């Protein structure tokens, strides 16, 4: 076989082609949907919030606000429109509803779960509170409103370290992400901050797949590689990474690195796609791990949701739960601003 023959067999392979390869024809098909969504937003007095993990055409074509979960929860407090379409997953839509009870919050994707948010219930937190009555209960934002309603303070991946280290109580229960919790404990040890932290065993099914062997392999193939990972990854991954942070913090880190730098992003592939169009002079290799929940958002289901929202797409919360969950989120805003 010649190199040319082999190349001719290989050249049509495009990793991630189903979702993230764009031809002019595909874009021309998208444009009428994008235009109709943007028209309907005006008619319905709606804005769209989109997480960085959703498909690029949603972020570039129709989103009014985009970013990581902390930024989006702050953005949700600034919205004046009557309706919020939250292109992400259910717990993010719930956060927007907790902060904006009079607004109609809609979730377009059919798969609205999250393996972390689904790993613990409010009833389980109440049982833990009986077991640990002297502890401060900290929950990751990737939790249901019911879990937040039973916790003292919420955190995101961008502020977990800052908030937990500034809590007055040294006894903490952290739910639900056991891997993020272990990363937190390791980082506290490094900084000589003494807290006793009880963990739960939840994990993100996307981030838990990365390991040190994968990093070592990519490093051996790519001199100068910068490994950038999310704190939902295993501690062994965090240890070998050049930078660990929320999706928003990763963007800032990448922006500040010189042109030509190769990056391995250990997070959902939506961020990889986003970085490729935001920083065309940097090199992003590998890792296409997809979150089926985030990727169940599409232009088509956003359009349908704006046209005829189904009952299940409206986020509805019981008022007592909402008020208690808001206290937990407000505590996050308070500690994050300190």
Using CB under 6 A, list all residues that contact ligand SF4: 89, 114-116, 142, 204-206, 232, 268, 291, 293-294
**Which partner from the list ligand 13P, ligand SF4, none does 271 bind, CB cut-off 5 to 8 Å by kind?**
none
Total residues binding ligand 13P (CB under 6 A): 11
The Cα–Cα gap between 174 and 94 comes to 20
Residues 221-240 that bind ligand 13P (CB under 6 A): 230, 232
**Which partner from the list ligand 13P, ligand SF4, none does 321 bind, CB cut-off 5 to 8 Å by kind?**
none
Minimum CB distance to ligand 13P, residue 53 (Å)? 7
Minimum CB distance to ligand SF4, residue 156 (Å)? 11
Among 83, 100, 247, 313, binds ligand 13P (CB under 6 A): 247
153-155 sheet: strands from edge to edge:
153-155, 136-140, 171-175, 196-199
**Which partner from the list ligand 13P, ligand SF4, none does 247 bind, CB cut-off 5 to 8 Å by kind?**
ligand 13P
Write the DSSP assignment of 253-308 as a string of letters.
HHHTSPTT-EEEEESBHHHHHHHHHH-TTSEEES--B--TTGGG--HHHHHHHHHS
CB atoms within 10 A of CB 218: 17
SS3 49: strand
The 3-class secondary structure across 5-21, one letter per residue, is: HHHHHHCCCCCCHHHHC
Helix (H) or strand (E) holding 313: none
Minimum CB distance to ligand SF4, residue 269 (Å)? 10
Minimum CB distance to ligand 13P, residue 157 (Å)? 4
Residues 131-150 that bind ligand 13P (CB under 6 A): 142
Minimum CB distance to ligand SF4, residue 206 (Å)? 4
SS3 338: coil
**Residue 73 touches ligand 13P, criterion: CB under 6 A:** no
Kindly give, in sequence order, each residue whose CB lies less than 8 Å from that of residue 166, ignoring residues fewer than 6 positions away: 335, 338
Distances 123 to 120, 135, 153, 238, 266 between C-alpha atoms, Å: 8, 17, 17, 32, 33
**Residue 75 touches ligand 13P, criterion: CB under 6 A:** no
**Which partner from the list ligand 13P, ligand SF4, none does 157 bind, CB cut-off 5 to 8 Å by kind?**
ligand 13P
The 3-class secondary structure across 140-201, one letter per residue, is: ECCCCHHHHHCCCEEECCCCHHHHHHHCCCCEEEEECEHHHHHHHHHHHHHCCCCCEEEECC
Closer of 132 and 205 to ligand SF4 (Cβ): 205
**Residue 156 touches ligand 13P, criterion: CB under 6 A:** yes
Residue for token pair 């109709």: 36
**Which partner from the list ligand 13P, ligand SF4, none does 115 bind, CB cut-off 5 to 8 Å by kind?**
ligand SF4
Minimum CB distance to ligand SF4, residue 268 (Å)? 5
Closer of 126 and 292 to ligand 13P (Cβ): 292
SS3 29: helix
**Which partner from the list ligand 13P, ligand SF4, none does 140 bind, CB cut-off 5 to 8 Å by kind?**
none
Minimum CB distance to ligand SF4, residue 36 (Å)? 27
Closer of 41 and 293 to ligand 13P (Cβ): 293
The Cα–Cα gap between 72 and 208 comes to 24
SS3 227: strand
**Which partner from the list ligand 13P, ligand SF4, none does 246 bind, CB cut-off 5 to 8 Å by kind?**
ligand 13P
Q: Which residues contact ligand 13P (rule: CB under 6 A)?
A: 68-70, 142, 156-157, 204, 230, 232, 246-247
């Amino acid at each position: 076989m010649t190199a040319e023959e082999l190349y001719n067999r290989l050249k049509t392979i495009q990793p991630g082609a189903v979702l993230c390869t764009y031809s002019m024809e595909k874009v021309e098909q998208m444009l009428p949907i994008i235009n109709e969504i943007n028209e309907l937003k005006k008619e319905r007095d709606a804005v769209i919030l989109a997480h960085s993990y959703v498909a690029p055409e949603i972020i570039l074509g129709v989103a009014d606000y985009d970013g990581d979960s902390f930024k989006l929860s702050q953005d949700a407090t600034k919205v004046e429109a009557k309706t919020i379409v939250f292109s992400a997953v259910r717990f993010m839509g719930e956060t927007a509803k907790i902060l904006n009870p009079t607004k109609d919050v809609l979730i377009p994707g059919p798969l609205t779960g999250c393996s972390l948010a689904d790993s613990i219930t409010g009833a389980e937190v109440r049982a833990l509170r009986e077991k640990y009555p002297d502890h401060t209960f900290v929950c990751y934002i990737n939790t249901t409103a019911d879990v937040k309603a039973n916790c003292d303070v919420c955190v995101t991946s961008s502020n977990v370290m800052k908030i937990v280290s500034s809590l007055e109580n040294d006894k903490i229960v952290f739910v639900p992400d056991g891997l993020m919790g272990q990363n937190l404990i390791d980082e506290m040890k490094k900084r000589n901050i003494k807290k006793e932290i009880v963990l739960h065993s939840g994990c993100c099914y996307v981030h838990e797949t990365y390991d040190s062997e994968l990093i070592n392999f990519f490093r051996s193939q790519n001199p100068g590689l910068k490994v950038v990972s999310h704190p939902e990854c295993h501690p062994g991954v965090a240890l070998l990474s050049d930078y660990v942070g929320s999706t928003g913090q990763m963007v800032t880190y990448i922006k500040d690195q010189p042109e030509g730098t190769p990056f391995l992003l250990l997070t959902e592939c939506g961020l990889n796609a986003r970085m490729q169009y935001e920083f065309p002079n940097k090199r992003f290799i590998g890792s296409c791990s997809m979150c089926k929940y985030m990727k169940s958002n599409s232009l088509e289901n956003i359009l349908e949701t704006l046209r005829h929202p189904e009952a299940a797409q409206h986020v509805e919360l019981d008022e007592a739960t909402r008020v208690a969950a808001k206290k937990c989120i407000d505590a996050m805003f308070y500690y994050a601003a300190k």
